[in-house]
A and B are shown apart, each in its own frame.
Chain A
Amino acid sequence: MALTGLQIFKLLPNKNCGECDVPTCLAFAMKLAGKIAEPQACPYISDEAMEILGAAQTPPIKKIIFKNGEKEISIGAETVMFRHEKTFVNQTLIALEMTDNLSAEEFENELKRIESYKYERVGERLEPECISLKNVSDDKNNYLLKLETIQSKTEKIIILSDCNAEIIKEAMQLVDNKRLILNKVEDLSETLNIISDTQTPIVLSAKNIEELLEKVEKCEAQNFKNIILSIDFNNLNELLENNVLLRRSAIEKGFKLAGYPILTECTEEDELHSAILGICKYSSIVLLKKFSGASLFPLLTLRQNIFTDPQKPLQIDPGIYQVGEPDESSPLIVTTNFSLTYFIVSGEIENSISPAWLCIVDAEGMSVLTAWSANKFSGEIVGKAILNSGIEEKINHKKVIIPGYVAIIRGELEDKLPEWEILVGPQEAADIPKYLKEIWK
């Protein structure tokens, strides 16, 4: 069971020395309880306390780290059942399947298509990060040739699928082990021998949880750590059940055998459905058989949303947004880049059915009043944002509506934007429709 801050506090020396970079022992204890500090940071911690705290610190689900070009990607290390309890830590990887039976040209084209699939959103690049290469040809040289192509043309993580020990052995010479996952290996015990030194992550699959856990136990007995779990399913009900029960076993029951990341092989007939389920409910990798641009886009967005840290205010990109279809005489409203603020303000502008320009100012994701209190939404900052937004070319007036809660920045903003008329809008977003109707016209 997780320890509370006060329980941990009692294990600490209560010197309030600040050498852990936290001012008091209680503050440090609460950080430990929230798992945002390591007990080692305390130079005076007793061995006994270290033992108790160390055990409490290991995440119940194994973390596996991959190399993706220059950066590292991890899966696992999850600590909660529901994202609001803290956050989901490592986002579900999306894997696309390729088969080795395509001609070299076809293969390269397909690869190019996958490689070019990316979309920039809220400062994050959305893209599938794994390719699963399925051995269909049963031709070692052909398979390795295709593997070589993927390895040289992309930086994606590669899942070797349906391969025998011999292919795996050679593949491992070819590709950095930090980029590899082994799936559906033909001969498990032989493969385990090959990878006993490298600890290349391997997927253990089974028909049900019992069978799966037996395999995990065997692998663990051979000191094998980088395990990924996969269970076949006949319908989505089974998929949901397996994923929930595995996660629950690991997190709530502390059942170590279940504490590994899960790979979900999406079935072709309801690929979108199983992928959504996997992303929302605990799969660390979803493997898509069919590459559909129209499915991938919402899936990547869903993943970004689900794995956003709910403890951090989600920000939206600063800049000019159109609500409805505004024209040059439409009003200009300014607010902060806290996504909930944006969501509510733009919603109310929509309710007014009068289109408007919305200038989103970078206020580090704070709401209006909080941002103002911390001087992140001053006249200076707002003025600069408006001048740099390019809005002047889109509208034929020089009026801007500021939130009523920060009426006080009006003077400062007038100094910054001498040619502009600064209008003080309502305090609450709900009054925007009324304001636009009565004051703007």
Chain B
Amino acid sequence: MEFEKPLAEWKGQVQEIKLSDKVIIGGEQVFPNYSFDGKCSNKPAVAIEINDVFPENWPENLKEIWNTDTLKSPVERAKKAEKEFGADIIFFDMIGTHQDRENISANQAAENMNAILKAVDTPVIVRPDGNFEKQNKIFAKCCELAERQIIIGSAKEDNYRTITASALAGNHFIIAEAPIDVNIQKQLNILITQMNFPLERIIMDPMTGGLGYGFEYTYSVMERIRLQTFMDDPFMIPPMVCCVGQETWKIKEIKIEDEKYGSKPERGINWETTTAIGLILSGANIVVVRHPESVIKIKNFIDSIYQKSDCLQQGI
């Protein structure tokens, strides 16, 4: 029987961003992953999260696979993430800068960042923690002192000016984070570009609701963002990043002791993988995870879904 494929026409294109020679994200000319409709040039990238301090709150099984000693050294973690675990991008979450934690100073934070930048070849996303005042100091320092181009986060609607000005001066990328809201996301993109920051250097973080904890909001908001991209909305073209690991390894479902639901590590990996894949399906260009097994599984998925398309190989 004759079957004429009902292919869809999509206007517009996701901004393609070259983060390094090897890592290029975005650029799809059709709804995410719909390579049968048209061109999806670049595979989504998988980033691994590392911290500037020992991650006390991680579950034991996750700490074990990383090795406790490695976890104590940000640089060792970064190297392991890149070389052993195959991270396309390193996500450097500086939780130690929070004023009520280790309260690491802005100068020290910039130094820590540069150590990571030196240790790995991948692009690095840098994100400080703390109140706005503290974060603003770190944004300024990191953008000023970074020894190579970084991706700095997160600009929010109530705190985007310092980071934007700093990243503009230092020629860095910005992560624009909105609280699971299409409109606020677009507003934030506009606000940032109104400071003459190029839209081509923005990556959106729609904020990830963990699976079972608001996942569906993120999922639909991302779909809506992309539908808007392809209705040729000029402010909705940046690629998207989703921080999956942070929303996975804290929830109670992966801490339940009951063999019926599989072993805890396996359940955690599957939870992280399922969340990440779900979000890739709704348009994530970067997913940030914690477990090396998740990286493998997610990459398998990406390879299988990008089988036919003429996309570039991501990462190493």
Which residues of A pack against B, CB within 8 Å?
82-84, 113, 116-117, 119, 121, 209-211, 213-214, 217, 234-238, 240-241, 244-245, 248-249, 252-253, 255, 270, 272-273, 276-277, 280-281, 292-299, 301-302, 304-306, 308, 310, 314, 339-340, 343-344, 352-354, 430, 433-434, 437
Are A302 and B223 neighbours in the complex by a CB distance under 8 Å?
no
Are B100 and A353 neighbours in the complex by a CB distance under 8 Å?
yes
The interface-forming segment of B77-85, B192-200, B234-242, B260-268 is: B260-268
Are A235 and B220 neighbours in the complex by a CB distance under 8 Å?
no
Known: A294-B266, A294-B270, A353-B98. A84 touches B224 (CB 8 A): yes
Asked if B173 is an interface residue, CB under 8 A from chain A, the answer is no
Bound complex: CA of A82 vs CA of B31, how far in Å?
A: 12
Are B260 and A210 neighbours in the complex by a CB distance under 8 Å?
no
Asked if B169 is an interface residue, CB under 8 A from chain A, the answer is no
Are B281 and A297 neighbours in the complex by a CB distance under 8 Å?
no
Please encode chain B, from 269 to 313, with 1 for each CB lying within 8 Å of some chain A CB and 0 for all others: 111011101100110000000000000010011001111110000
A437 (CB) vs chain B CBs: closest residue: B100
Are B260 and A116 neighbours in the complex by a CB distance under 8 Å?
yes
Asked if B35 is an interface residue, CB under 8 A from chain A, the answer is yes
Smallest CB-CB A-B distances: 6 pairs: A294-B262, A293-B262, A298-B274, A294-B266, A236-B304, A305-B216
Bound complex: CA of A277 vs CA of B281, how far in Å?
A: 8
* B interface residues, how many (CB within 8 angstroms): 57
Are B278 and A280 neighbours in the complex by a CB distance under 8 Å?
yes
Are A276 and B33 neighbours in the complex by a CB distance under 8 Å?
no
The interface-forming segment of B1-9, B67-75, B115-123, B137-145 is: B1-9
Asked if B107 is an interface residue, CB under 8 A from chain A, the answer is no
Determine the chain B residues whose CB is within 8 A of the CB of A343 once the complex forms. 180, 209, 213-214, 217
Chain B contacts with A in 15-51, Cβ cutoff 8 A: 33-36
Asked if B179 is an interface residue, CB under 8 A from chain A, the answer is yes
Name the contact of B270 in the complex, choosing from A116, A297, A308, A430 (C-beta under 8 A): A297
B221 (CB) vs chain A CBs: closest residue: A84
Bound complex: CA of A212 vs CA of B72, how far in Å?
A: 57
Bound complex: CA of A308 vs CA of B308, how far in Å?
A: 32
Are B219 and A305 neighbours in the complex by a CB distance under 8 Å?
yes
Asked if B259 is an interface residue, CB under 8 A from chain A, the answer is yes
Are A293 and B259 neighbours in the complex by a CB distance under 8 Å?
yes
Asked if B211 is an interface residue, CB under 8 A from chain A, the answer is yes
Asked if B55 is an interface residue, CB under 8 A from chain A, the answer is no
Are A240 and B1 neighbours in the complex by a CB distance under 8 Å?
no
Asked if B53 is an interface residue, CB under 8 A from chain A, the answer is no
